[in-house]
Amino acid sequence: MAAALLTGCQSNRVTWAIAVHGGAGTIDPNTPAEQAASYRASLARALEEGRARLARGDGALDTCEAVVRILEDDPNFNAGKGATLTEAGRAELDASIMDGSTLRCGAVGGVTTVKNPISLARLVMERTEHVLLVAEGAERFADATGVERVENAYFVTPRRKEALEKALRERKVGMGAGAASAYGTVGCVALDSNGRLAAATSTGGRTGKMPGRIGDTPLPGAGNYADGVAAVSGTGTGEEFIRHAVARTIPARMELAGETLAQAADHVVFRTLREGDGGVIAVDGKGRIAMAYNSLGMYRGAADSAGRFEVRIWKD
Ligand code: ASP
């Protein structure tokens, strides 16, 4: 009897779990059905890849990198191809990755020719003594690694050009003023079947940002974080995520205040951040997933070993 109960419990236990996001923001609820379907399909494709990898026993870190690469290559999102543009009309990309089981992390900021910044971030983690390389130094490091390179024009899409023109037309006063949070930053958090957590996040930043601006995404603890308690990937107004160390605060609240993952994520998103700032996806060591946002919508998806597989944009 005891054995039967135990077996029953074990079969329900979540052994791996994954969540992805494709950005948060003012996503118009009247988005044409065709466009919403295209976003859902993009998210589902990335999530399916993650699910297949975790189900066959791949590690959380490899899975997060592979999933983010797919989203970087997808022009629907503000990362890699389709990234937002600086006020000078160029793409400057930020990314970071973190292994929760070792606290090793790597990040790049302001890269302009690296097709998949998340893979360069991983190489910073694995091949250097550093955590974050930016701009020219990051490009030089890329030269030495053999990662795939592209012209900056590869990243630029007509949609992001239009968004920049609009932002510049509406610009008020001040350096970087009117830099708009453009939804589409991508991220992935995962728990693998060996109990390891990882997080990866990649972005073009904010539309019309000043050249050289670095957001929260490549800053471990702000836009991306993983430890033995939880893995977190954020999206939204990066400056606010930096001020409040959003990604690190979630596992910290779990450890120090005894909150659940959902409580900690809700606290940070609904009480610390301002309405409209964005959201987070997070997973803990038991495979529980939180996806909280305080904007109109967040492109997101979740899957786990118990059969969950869902993709959503609004509160649907
Ligand atoms: N957090 C990103 C940044 O500020 C942008 C976003 O997620 O929309 O760079």
Q: Whose CA is nearest to atom 6 of ligand 1?
A: 236
CA distance 240 to 311: 26
Query: Does the beta carbon of 217 lie inside 6 Å of ligand 1?
Result: yes
pTM: 0.95
Q: Is the pLDDT of residue 100 over 50?
A: yes
Going from the Cα of 223 to the center of ligand 1, the distance in angstroms, rounded, reads 8
Query: Does the beta carbon of 223 lie inside 6 Å of ligand 1?
Result: yes
Torsion angle of alpha carbons 41, 238, 101, 141, nearest 10°? Answer: 90
Provide the residue type at 43 as one letter.
Answer: L
Band of pLDDT at residue 179, cut at 50, 70 and 90: low
CB atoms within 10 A of CB 57: 10
CA distance 132 to 118: 12
Q: Whose CA is nearest to atom 8 of ligand 1?
A: 236
Structure tokens at 128: 């250097």
Residue 181: its pLDDT value, please? 62
Residue 180: its pLDDT value, please? 62
Helix axes 60-73, 117-127, angle to 10 degrees: 150
Torsion angle of alpha carbons 203, 207, 209, 211, nearest 10°? Answer: 70
Going from the Cα of 55 to the center of ligand 1, the distance in angstroms, rounded, reads 30
Residue 178: its pLDDT value, please? 61
Query: Does the beta carbon of 185 lie inside 6 Å of ligand 1?
Result: yes
Structure tokens at 306: 């118990």
Going from the Cα of 282 to the center of ligand 1, the distance in angstroms, rounded, reads 17
CA distance 303 to 289: 9
Q: Which residues pair with 96 in a beta bridge?
A: 107, 201
CB atoms within 10 A of CB 190: 32
Q: How far is CA 25 from the centre of its chain?
A: 14
pLDDT tens-digit map of 138-174? 999 999 999 999 999 999 999 999 999 998 998 865 6
Helix/strand/coil for 229: coil
Query: Does the beta carbon of 187 lie inside 6 Å of ligand 1?
Result: no
Residue among 78, 81, 69, 61 nearest 156 (CA) = 81
Query: Does the beta carbon of 205 lie inside 6 Å of ligand 1?
Result: yes
pLDDT tens-digit map of 113-126? 999 999 999 999 99
CB 48 within 8 A of CB 19: no
Going from the Cα of 92 to the center of ligand 1, the distance in angstroms, rounded, reads 12
Rounded (5°) CA angle 193-263-228: 35
CA distance 155 to 152: 6
CA distance 46 to 66: 9
Tell me which of 179 and 206 has the higher pLDDT.
206
Residue 171: its pLDDT value, please? 80
Residue 219: its pLDDT value, please? 98
Q: Which single residue is written with the structure tokens 């073009």?
A: 204
Q: Is the pLDDT of residue 8 over 60?
A: no
Mutation probe of ligand 1 site: the residue of 84, 93, 188, 237 with most atoms within 8 A of C-beta: 237
Q: Which single residue is written with the structure tokens 């970071």?
A: 96
Residue 6: its pLDDT value, please? 42
pLDDT tens-digit map of 230-252? 999 999 999 999 999 999 999 99
Looking at every residue in the chain, the average pLDDT score rounds to: 93
Helix/strand/coil for 301: strand
Q: Is the pLDDT of residue 184 over 70?
A: yes
CB 128 within 8 A of CB 153: no
86 is catalytic: no
Burial class of residue 280, CB neighbours in 10 A (0-12, 13-18, 19+): buried
Report the run of H or E that residue 94 belongs to, with start and end: strand 93-99
Residue 9: its pLDDT value, please? 42
Going from the Cα of 23 to the center of ligand 1, the distance in angstroms, rounded, reads 8
Provide the residue type at 129 as one letter.
Answer: E
CA distance 50 to 149: 25
Domains defined along the chain, listed by start: 17-24+31-296 (3.60.20.30)
Query: Does the beta carbon of 203 lie inside 6 Å of ligand 1?
Result: yes
Query: Does the beta carbon of 109 lie inside 6 Å of ligand 1?
Result: no
